Amino acid sequence: MSLAPALSNAFRITPETDADREEVEALVMAAFGPGRFAKTAERIRETAHMSAAFVAREDGRLTGSVRLWSITVDGLDALFLGPIAVVSDARRGGLGADLVGACIGEAQHRGVAGVLLVGDPHYFERFGFQPAPDVRLPGPADPRRVLWLPITSAAPSGLALPA
Ligand SMILES: CC(C)(COP(=O)(O)OP(=O)(O)OC[C@H]1O[C@@H](n2cnc3c(N)ncnc32)[C@H](O)[C@@H]1OP(=O)(O)O)[C@@H](O)C(=O)NCCC(=O)NCCS
């Protein structure tokens, strides 16, 4: 896991450390429940290298988390975003946007082709994520929820695999 380079919202987002791990797991479990282990995204995360991860804390309490994983999409280097979660009583305050912003900064710093995720288009399109109909995942996924944020002009096409 790298230490973050330039973070646009660094005042409350920091790189995840080993000391954060237990609270991150609890936050993600509370946000998604055990059903998340059945998701195709989890198949990627099981074997991919965690490329970076960020947390937010307020008064010592973990309030948000996001992780990024190294993948390739038919040979293109990219990052896979998720899970992203904010504690329920801190939502709608822009923290989710700050976490996504940290991920975009990380992807720009690394010079990867883009950021892939499986998520709600209504939420993620505001950051520039677009449907990626030509990208396939190693398992079933609603194609409307497979989203790509381009960092370079390379167009993703083919199978997304852990790297
Ligand atoms: C998604 C999540 C991380 C957003 O965090 P947040 O701090 O509330 O995000 P922001 O404050 O930056 O943005 C809030 C906006 O996102 C919308 N939003 C939140 N969750 C959403 C979702 N799952 N789908 C669509 N829109 C969502 C809110 O309605 C709000 O919209 P508005 O700006 O039009 O009012 C948070 O709601 C969460 O942890 N949800 C549970 C876990 C989850 O579903 N994660 C993956 C989402 S695909």
Instruction: Please report which confidence band the pLDDT of residue 5 belongs to, taking 50, 70 and 90 as the band edges.
Output: very low
Q: Would the CB of 96 count as within 6 Å of ligand 1? A: yes
> What six digits make up the tokens of 21?
């791990």
Query: Which CATH superfamily groups domain 13-162?
Result: Gcn5-related N-acetyltransferase (GNAT) (3.40.630.30)
Q: Could you tell me if the CB of 127 is within 6 A of ligand 1? A: no
Average pLDDT over all residues of the chain: 93
State whether the beta carbon of 12 lies less than 6 angstroms from ligand 1: no
Supply the pLDDT for residue 11. Answer: 53
Ligand 1: centre distance to CA 86 (Å): 8
Ligand 1, atom nearest to 119 Cα? 48
Q: What is the mean pLDDT of residues 154-161?
A: 95
> CA-CA distance, 23 to 113, in Å (whole number)?
31
10 Å Cβ neighbour count for 16? 20
Residue of minimum CA distance from atom 18 in ligand 1: 123
Tens-place pLDDT, residues 12-42 = 899 999 999 999 999 999 999 988 888 999 9
Ordered DSSP codes for the chain: -PPP---TTTTTEEE--GGGHHHHHHHHHHHH-GGGGGSHHHHHHHHS-EEEEEEEEETTEEEEEEEEEEEEETTEEEEEEEEEEE-GGGTTSSHHHHHHHHHHHHHHHHT-SEEEEES-HHHHGGGT-EE-TTEE-SS---GGGEEEEESSSPPP-EEEEE-
pLDDT (mean) for 85-101:
96
In the structure encoding, which two tokens stand for residue 28, read together? 């993600």
| Position 96 pLDDT exceeds 80 | yes
Q: What is the pLDDT of residue 6?
A: 45
State residue 36's pLDDT score: 84
88: pLDDT strictly greater than 50: yes
Residue 119 Cα to ligand 1 midpoint, Å, equals 10
Q: In this predicted model, what pLDDT tens digit does every residue of 38-76 receive, in sequence order?
A: 899 999 999 999 999 999 999 899 999 999 999 999 999
**What is the torsion angle, in degrees rounded to the nearest 10, for the CA atoms of residue 19, residue 56, residue 80 and residue 28?**
70
Q: Is the CB–ligand 1 distance for residue 117 below 6 Å? A: no
Average pLDDT over every residue of 73-96: 96
Extents of the domains making up the chain: 13-162
Q: Quick one: tokens of 80?
A: 């896979």
Angle at 68 between CA 76 and CA 140, to 5 degrees: 70
